[in-house]
Amino acid sequence: MVRVTHWLTVVAFLALAFSGYMIILTHPRFYWGETGNVNMKPLFRIPVPSSRDTVPTGYNYVLADENGWARYLHFEAAWLFVLTGAVYGIGGFFSGHFRRDLWPRRGERSWQAYWRAFRGVDKCDDGVHHYNVLQRTAYLGVIFILTPAVIWTGLALSPAFNAAFPFFVDVLGGRQSARTLHFFVSDLLVAFLVVHIVMIALAGFWTRTRAMITGRTHNVEAEEAQ
């Protein structure tokens, strides 16, 4: 269950990240509140050209408008992301995966334990079956904080969701605030992905990736012993 949902999430997240970037290019300016347009001062802007000639960016050229297919892909990938996350969450709860593999153990819930893990003093049990306390905390943060936040802020951008559940949009400060928060939370998830890949590369990219595909960890242990 963990391996299948992991790779489905990879596909969904890469599609969301790429299509989200293309959507941002239509209006690379961010606001705070309910409304935002070219006649308002933005909270901040991304220094890239836009795919719309009506959006002032400081560049003297306009990119190709890819907004149509990007929105379709973003919507479809979001459903895959949410449904896969639901399967993983339900399965992880009932199988004990969260409690067994991710929840910090007794004696690890202190800043000293986190510092030892950061310095590499505390090693995983075998490097494959278990994670150190920093890794587990990072995974828990992504699963139970960043992922719900990116789904919530993404839903808040939907006019239908806004009409049906205005409270969940208003508490974020409005639709433009939700868009800004969605951007920042997405950036944190991309940062996590980059660090995750770097750590896999440092630990042995192909052996770790093969283990995540096949589920066979004894080959990893043998290669590490060599």
Tens-digit pLDDT string for the chain (226 aa) = 989 999 999 999 999 999 999 999 999 999 999 999 999 999 999 999 999 999 999 898 999 999 999 999 999 999 999 999 999 999 999 999 898 888 887 777 777 777 777 766 555 554 444 677 888 889 999 999 999 999 999 999 999 999 999 999 999 999 999 999 999 999 999 999 999 999 889 878 888 888 888 887 655 555 555 5
**Residue ranges of the alpha helices (H) in 49-158?**
67-95, 97, 111-119, 133-141, 147-155
For tokens 């399967």, name the residue: 87
Q: Which residues pair with 44 in a beta bridge?
A: 30
Question: Rounded CA gap, 32 and 44, in Å?
Answer: 10
Q: Single out the residue of 70, 89, 67, 90 nearest to residue 78, CA to CA.
A: 70
Nearest-5° angle of CA 183, CA 176, CA 39?
115
DSSP letter assigned to residue 145: I
Q: What's the pTM value of the predicted model, to 2 decimals?
A: 0.87
